Structure 1
Amino acid sequence: MARKKKARAIVREFDEYFGTGTLDDWQRLCRDVGLAGYYPSITQCRKALRTVHINIHDLLDAVKQGRHPPRFGNPQQLAEYTVNSGKIFPKIKVKAMGPVRALLRHII
């Protein structure tokens, strides 16, 4: 039961962080993960985010602290860290084309 509660909390926290999904929200996400440059559309933001391997839990913690989250060199490194740390975002809660979808990597 505690695991489900934790999963609901992280989903809620990301939804509150991200906002309604405007271009400004997507651009802020790009900045928050440490992507340099200007992304003039949601599609460009989504494409850029596919190149970044970060843990969503760490992203939310980093934003609170005013820093960028740790980045991993590839999906395998992220997967190993995620499994070992237990910081797994519940895949069942992912909205079809939302921002979480752009950040998720297959880890298990």
Structure 2
Amino acid sequence: MGRKKKSRVIVQEFDDYFGTGTLQDWQRLCRDVGLSGDLPSISQCRKALKTVHVNIHDLLEAVKHGKQPQRFPNVQKLVHYTMRTGRFFPKDKVKEMGPVKALMRRIL
């Protein structure tokens, strides 16, 4: 599969997984990455997600199998893993205030 097609597939998979962006969608994402506690607003979910370092490809794969994705202790470990595996999310597909934006980390 070519790089452009892979990019389209991962973007579509995340859109399908996340849903319409309701508070419940954000709360599910927080639970799926292993955040616990009551996060009563989208802004609190977004803030909490900024502390989590996961690869988006791994997140979607883990959710399919009913598992939690690998969480990295810091951005450097996530960057190293992402560079090694080539499992990038296309930066140009990140919506300004969406969930992917909250999970994205500067890789290059």
Is TM-score (shorter-chain normalized) higher than 0.5? yes
Q: Which residue of 1 aligns with 2:81?
A: 81
- State the secondary structure of the residue aligned to 2:35: coil
- CA-based RMSD of the aligned residues comes to 0.8
Identity of aligned residues (%): 69
Give 1:50-89 correspondences, 5 Å limit: 50-89=50-89
Query: Partner residue of 2:19?
Result: 19
Q: CA deviation at 1:62?
A: 0.3
Could you tell me how far apart the structure 2 residues matched to 1:57 and 1:48 are? 20
Per the normalisation by structure 1, the TM-score is 0.98
Q: Which runs of 5+ in 2 are unaligned?
A: none
The CA deviation at 1:83 is 0.8
Q: Distance in 1 between matches of 2:23 and 2:45?
A: 9
**Alpha-carbon separation, structure 2, partners of 1:38 and 1:56:** 23
**Deviation digits for residues 17-75 of structure 1 (CA, Å, limit 9, x no counterpart):** 00000000000000000001010000000000000000000000000000100000100
TM-score, reference length from structure 2: 0.98
Query: Once superposed, which parts of structure 1, at least 4 consecutive aligned residues long, lie more than 4 Å away?
Result: none
Structure 1 residue runs of 5 or longer lacking an equivalent are none
